[in-house]
Amino acid sequence: MTYDGSEQGGPELIGGRYRLGERLGQGGMGVVRRATDELLGREVAVKTLALDSGADPAGALREARVVAQVRHPHVIVVHDVVEHEGRPALVMELIEGGSLADRLAAGEVFSPAEAARLGLDLLDALTAAHARDVLHRDVKPANVLLEKDSGRAVLTDFGIASLPDATTLSRTGAFIGTPEYTAPERMQGGDAGPASDLWSLGAVLCAAATGTSPFRRDSIGAVLHAIVYEEIRPSARMGPLVPVVRGLLERDPELRLGAAEARRLLAACAAGEDPAALAPVPTLREDALPAVPAPAGADTAAGGRGSGRRRAGALPFVTAAVAVCAAAATVAVLLAMQDEPPAGPPGATGTGSTATSAPATTPTPRTPVSGAGRPLSRQVTDESGFSLLVPYGAIRSTDGERVVYTSPDGAVRVGVRIRPVPPGGAIGVMRTSAEDGPKTNPGYRDGTVEETTHRGLPAARWEFTWDGFTRAEGARHTFDVAWEEDETLYDVWVSAPVSRLEEARTRFGATVESFRATGG
């Protein structure tokens, strides 16, 4: 709803105390006017339903009840509900200053720090709503009011807010919400929860920092396609906001950045720090990999077949990462560039949390470089009990069972899983994984499994190609090796686009050779 300050309304009195004044804005369902509360002598805003909008009058009462449950400085306050022309009208606090949509329409763009402070206000509002089991479902610039003097952001218009189990469609089957800012799971009629509002927050942050939604297109169909399928590339002008926006715009809601981590990253950005140094990563399922920067998904690496089943409603946007074995002759190339010797106990460990990020690895003493002087790879010591070579600058994520390191460009992934040796041992795990390949990896082909040894220990190797979960992801090749040692199964894999096959092969060999158990 746009607050334009135009058009004077009539001086009528409603509810016996509210004198209506100028129109502040109008949306599809109603009109917002300035009014004077003649009983208390204060300025308020009155939202009345448009007679021809088809809006259900009961919806206004419902909105008032919803907002009354969520009392927070960054959520609009509803003072009263009165009757106007036979329909309920909401009497709300008046926020002088207009909406974020007004500011963007006027050509204003927020700095990353300013957008981060805005994001913190909205995140606090959403957190308060979610704590009451309320989903806003229409977070967008028009529903963000900005107080002129204080700069306080206020989330308004809870007209389509719902409980988490409410349907995405109205009773007439019409989609409710604003497509440009609506999460992909809602677009596809899937389960919608708090994560859906967080996606919308990510899109609003993009708009605040760049002037427009990242999903703005010429038609509704194109908007829907962009949200559900197209590669998401946050604009470089967002600077330090990019890590949190990437996390919030993760298509799979189960992988999306959570409120607590988003707050930590936004606070860092608002304080002038670089959130990229915090290596933000959403909590992952067992079969999941981080999606940076494009829509991504998860190869189900060996031994994780059961976890390959996604819950109903979840989108298959998480790319693959399963592992493999490579030529020993190329191993020395990468091993010569590692930061520290692969052997030996860790000098430090991470926090021990379930969902962790790059700081959980031990800092390395020197930076490896390629012939062009650019970082290539580094040896990390992970809190989960191992040390190995990963792409330099890789982002770490874990679901508690698997640890995945993703290269900065999101293309190459190195994964590790450590667990007790299951029945059938390494070869049994790999054969089962290969049998399930067509189910877990679209376009699965050229799969091979062979029994082998690793450092004289029983082992198995699996290699295959597949199509990726999205067109943007493209075809990928994965290498995986698992071996048994002291009643423990170690599984290490590497996944990369087929266009980078030789790089993946080389890195896989180096990674496997560099691996050491540290007992962390």
Supply the residues annotated as catalytic. 138
Q: Are strands 516-517 and 488-497 parallel, antiparallel or unpaired?
A: unpaired
CA dihedral 380, 382, 387, 392 (to 10 degrees): -20
Contact 235, 209 (CB under 8 A): yes
Tokens describing residue 166: 């409410």
| Residue 57, helix vs strand vs coil | helix
Q: Which amino acid is at 496?
A: A
Place of tokens 């298509």: 251
Tokens describing residue 44: 């308020």
Q: Are strands 42-49 and 87-93 parallel, antiparallel or unpaired?
A: antiparallel
Nearest C-alpha neighbor of 390 from the set 375, 402, 380: 380
112-131 vs 259-270: helix crossing angle, rounded to 10: 150
CA dihedral 42, 45, 46, 49 (to 10 degrees): 180
Q: Which amino acid is at 472?
A: A
Using alpha carbons, list the distances in angstroms from residue 269 to 111, 238, 242, 395: 10, 11, 10, 18
Measured CA to CA, the distance from residue 431 to residue 411 in angstroms comes to 26
Place of tokens 């070579």: 389
Instruction: Give the helix ranges, DSSP H, for 305-460.
Output: 331-335, 425-435, 437-440
Sheet holding 377-382, edge to edge: 377-382, 386-391, 516-517
Nearest C-alpha neighbor of 441 from the set 304, 246, 283: 304
Measured CA to CA, the distance from residue 417 to residue 242 in angstroms comes to 29
**Residue 438, preceding bond cis, omega within 30 degrees?**
no
**Residue 280, preceding bond cis, omega within 30 degrees?**
no
Place of tokens 């760049």: 210
Structural element, H or E, at residue 306: none
Measured CA to CA, the distance from residue 292 to residue 227 in angstroms comes to 16
Place of tokens 């423990």: 488
Which phi and psi angles does 324 have, rounded to 5°? -170, -175
